[in-house]
Structure formats: C-alpha cells, structure tokens
Amino acid sequence: MKAVSVALLLLALLVSVHTEDLARRKKNEERGHQLYKMSNKILKHSKSKKEKEEAYQLLTEAADMGHLKAMEKLAAALLFGYHGPQNITAAVILYETLAEKGSHKGQTLQALGFMFSYGIGMEYNQAKALVYYTFGSLGGNLISQMILGYRYWVGINVPRNCEAALTNYRKVAYFIANKLEKNEEMPVEKVRLMEKSENLSSNNDFLDWDVHQYYKFLAERGDTQIQKAFYYFLKAAKAGNTHGMAFLGKMFLEGSVAVTQSNASAFKYFTMAAEKGNAVGLWGLGVLYFQGKGVPVNYTEAFKYFHIAAEKGLADAQFQLGVMYHSGSGVRKDYKLAFKYFYLASQNGQPIAVYYLAQMYAAGTGVFRSCQNAVELYRSVCELGSWSEKFLTAYFAYQDGNIDSSLIQYALLAEMGYEVAQSNSAFILESEQVKILSNDQMYPLALLLWNRAAAQGNAFARVKTGDYHFYGYGTKKDYVTAAIHYSLAVDHHIAQAMFNLAYMYEHGLGIPEDIHLAKRWYDLAAQTNPDASIPVFLARMKLEVKLLFSEMQLFKQFTSSWKMSKLDTVLRPHWDLFALVVIVILLVLLIRNR
C-alpha cells in the first residue's frame, strides 16, 4: 500500500509540475505575443531613432520568450541591419534555431538559402542555396519563388527551363496583381550608385527619408496626408481645375479614414470633370456604371465613357476596355481586341494590364502562346512587389555609411533578379569597404554580379566584366574573354569599350594585332564621347610614332648593332612610356615654335 501511495504521490507531483510548466509556457507565449504586437505598432508609426531602438528591444524580449514571428523578424533585422546594429552571427543562430523548430512559413528557409548563395555567415554553397529556396518556395515564400523563377529563367545552377520559370513567376505575379488592384503597391525609385557616387553628399537628386515616409503614408492611406490632398484638390476644383474635380471624384469613390466614401459625391465630381473633357472624369463615370456604384449597372454607358477616355490616351480606360472585351461584359467577347487594349495600357504604364498580357501569352489566348513573353511580363509585375522598398532603405543605408547593411539588402534584390541591384551590389563589393565578407570573396562575387547585370543588357556592366577578365580580378587573366565582352559592349555605343578594344588590337591581346583597326576604334571612341578625346589623342600619337618607326624600318637598321639590340630589349617592356615621352617632347617643341 505504501508503494502505491508513493507512486500516486509522485504522479500527482509530476502532473502538478507539468501543469505549472504549461501555465508558465502559456504565460510566456501571451507575454511574447504582447511584446511582439507592441514592437510592430511602434515600428509602424515611429520616426525617431529612440522609438525604433525601443521597438527593437521589445522584439528581442519577445524572441527570447520563443515567439516564432518575433524570432523571424529579429533574425531579419539582425541580418539586414534594420532598427539596430547588424549582427550576421546572431542572425544565423536564430535562423538555424527556427529551421530546427520547423518554421513552416518559408521565410527562414529563404534566408538560409540567401546566405549560402553569397557565403554570408556560412559557407558559399549554391547547391544548398537551391535546396533551401526550393523548400521555401514549397512553403509559399514569394521571394523564394521569385528567386527560383529567375534562376530557371537564366540557368543559375539549374538547366534553363522557361516553363519552370513561368510557374514560379506566375504565383508571385498573381499575388502582386491582387495588391495592385487594391492600390496596396506602388513603384519605388531605383537609384544606380555608380551614376550618383560623386553626388552622395547632396539630396537634391534623390528622395530623402521624409519623402520616403510620405510615400509610405500615402500607401497606408495615412489620414493626415490624405486630408492635405483632399483640401488641395477641393481648392483646385473650386478654381475650375478639371484635374482637381476628377481626383476629388476618385477620392470619394475609394474612400479613406479622411474622406468618407460617397458614390453620389464621386458621380458629381466625375461628371463635372467629364463635361470639360477630362479623361480621368470620363474613366470615373465608366467605373461607376460598370460596377453599379450609385447608378444602375450599364455596360453600354460604361463602354462609351471608357472608349472616349481611352482615345485620349488614359491607360486605366484602355485597361478597362481590355477587361470588357476579355470577359465579354456588355460587348462580344474578343480576345484580339482585349489584347490590343491591354497592350496599349501596358505601354502607358498600367501594371495590371501587363499581368493580363502575361496571362494571355501563358495560355495562348487571343495570341500565339509564348513562354518567353509570358515570363518577361510576369517578371515585370513581380518586380513591383513591396520588397522593392529595399531599394530605398539600401540607398539610405549606403548614404549613411552603413555599407554592410546596404550590401545585404541590394544582394537579396540582386538574387531576385533586379539588374540595378546586381550592379549596385558589385559596385559596393569592389569599393573594398565591406566587412562581412573576406577579401578573397569580394572580386569573385563582384564579377558574378557584373556578369549577371551584363546578361540583362547593362552595357556598363559588360565593360566591367571585360575589365575583370583583362586584369584578372576575381578570375584568371583572359584576354580573349575580355575582348569578347568589350566587343559586345561596343554594340551599345560605349566609348570605353571602343577604346579598350582599340588598345587590344594595337597590342594583339586576345585578338590579332591590327594597327588600322586600332586607329578606327580609337577614332570611334572619340566620336562617341568627347571626354575620350584626350586619351584618344595620346593613344593615336603613340600609334603614329610607332607606325613612323615601322615604316622607316629604323628598327631593322639598328638591330644589327649590339648596342641597339640591347636598347631594344630594355625599351620593349616600356614602349608605351617611351612613346608618350616622345609625344610630350614633340608637343613642347611645337608650342615653343608657335
């Protein structure tokens, strides 16, 4: 009996400990969730550095309590340098812990794939990167899907496969198109660092942080900014401005925390604008009749207003006509006409029209099926996703001297296939200011990124790729490959590529020596870019001296002499310098004579 009593007592004790443990765990989870929500709220509305640091501290506490979302957000903050100091080692530990816990969202797997892809915080391993991206994609992670789409499209560590690229890009494009229809996404300016590196001290050419915040407020329908816009349009409308009338109609149609939605007011202001021939006003009336907002549904009236606005070149009206012909709403279904109007709208910057075109090419609806065209169109829609905001945060980090944070953000965008990000990442890497990568990683990675940017049509990146092979940066010296890249860049009328190609023809580097072709390319470089005139002049003078000596056969006359033979041996490695000295002496004599 005593043995049974002891066993029961131990069992009761174990149940009690387990219950207390569950209660403590539940309390921690609730506390962690509270801290996570508080952190998010502060980050969403904070402007000051102090507030962000406070939010970062709350996020850290929530992560310490095992809150998975907090751990994911903290890991990203540590990796990219958001809200506080960048710490790659801590980020790796958190991501690996999350992976062990079976974090199912795909964000963790995508981050691990990204770090393996660049060798950031762990070994450089493209095979592992591909595995993590694949599982991240299966977990529904959009960034992983976009990365895989790009990899299959250009053949990065996988065979090129247009259909696989299409499958991945289509998933992401579908999500972005839905966001665009709700006005939840907006384009972000993509600054090229190498074009602006000399002007980084000035904010005149760029969006500063306040403007960035302004855009974010508009995107989130911030009541202060909307209220300002409302009063501005109201004032303009009272002064007889048709744009003011039309945009007031649009604000009443959409509604916001600052402007109460009103179909009647929208109809009033759209009508005022339309009567004066304003395209947005005409489009607005079309929308009201098409959707039956404040008026009975009337496809005939909708079509009439859309058609007049479309004739005036309004992209949204052209898009709506495409929708009507595509769905057969009020008109006979006609895919060819739908394609025509979607195409016109896309050419005028309507992003959802681009998505519809991609759908038509992917399915072969109203047009011959083209996987290539579908992928290119889906891809352009995908690049409008909210992740493109990293172009702004990366630029501001670079401007503030946070080079590593800037690089990581650009590098992720580069991995997703953004050409500007590939060029910017390579530019940062070769600046030799990066601390999170070893010196022997810099130039090979920069070459990889310049090469990817060049493959997407960036002629400057093509010249840089040629330079890397010419000088042996991040790879072995290869004059043949360098000459190929310079030749490809020449097709884009790049003076630097022409000059480099001329030099290679002059010296027979990677291509047969040809003085006449060298002269031709030097001349074309000067014609293409006036800044090349002085270098070309010096190079041409050197060539002329060389030709003069060759034609007079002075070398043949003197090489029989031991002294000249010896002199030739000494001068040969420094022939360029010797020729320049001769040119300078001739110029000095010419100036003195004048």
Average pLDDT over every residue of 428-432: 92
Compute the average pLDDT of residues 565-578.
54
Q: CATH 1.25.40.10: which residues of the chain?
A: 2-140, 208-383
Candidates 3.40.710.10, 1.25.40.10, 2.60.120.10, 3.40.50.2300; correct CATH number of 2-140? 1.25.40.10
- Measured between alpha carbons, how far is 192 from 207 in angstroms, rounded to an integer? 13
- pLDDT at residue 200 in the model: 39
More confident: 182 or 155: 155
Name the amino acid, one letter, at 22. L
Q: What's the CATH code, domain 208-383?
A: 1.25.40.10
Q: What is the per-residue pLDDT for 38?
A: 82
468 Cβ contact partners less than 8 Å away, ≥ 6 residues apart: 443, 446, 447, 450, 474, 475
Those residues with Cβ within 8 angstroms of residue 169's Cβ, 6 or more apart along the chain or in another chain: 145, 146, 149, 153, 375, 378, 379, 382
List alpha helices for 292-436, DSSP H: 299-311, 315-327, 335-347, 351-363, 371-382, 390-399, 403-415, 419-430
For 392, other C-beta atoms within 10 Å of its C-beta total 21
> Which residue in 441, 437, 371, 445 sits closest to 403, CA to CA?
437
CA 362 – CA 167 distance, rounded (Å):
10
Q: What average pLDDT does the structure give for the chain?
A: 83
Contacts of residue 580, defined as CB under 8 A and 6 or more positions apart, other chains included, come to: 538, 542
Confidence of residue 221 (pLDDT cuts 50, 70, 90): very low
Question: pTM score, two decimals?
Answer: 0.81
Give the other-Cβ count within 10 Å of 191's Cβ. Answer: 19
pLDDT at position 206: 38
What pLDDT was estimated at residue 526?
A: 87
Average pLDDT over residues 75-80: 90
Lowest-confidence segment of 148-152, 183-187, 213-217, 245-249 by average pLDDT: 213-217
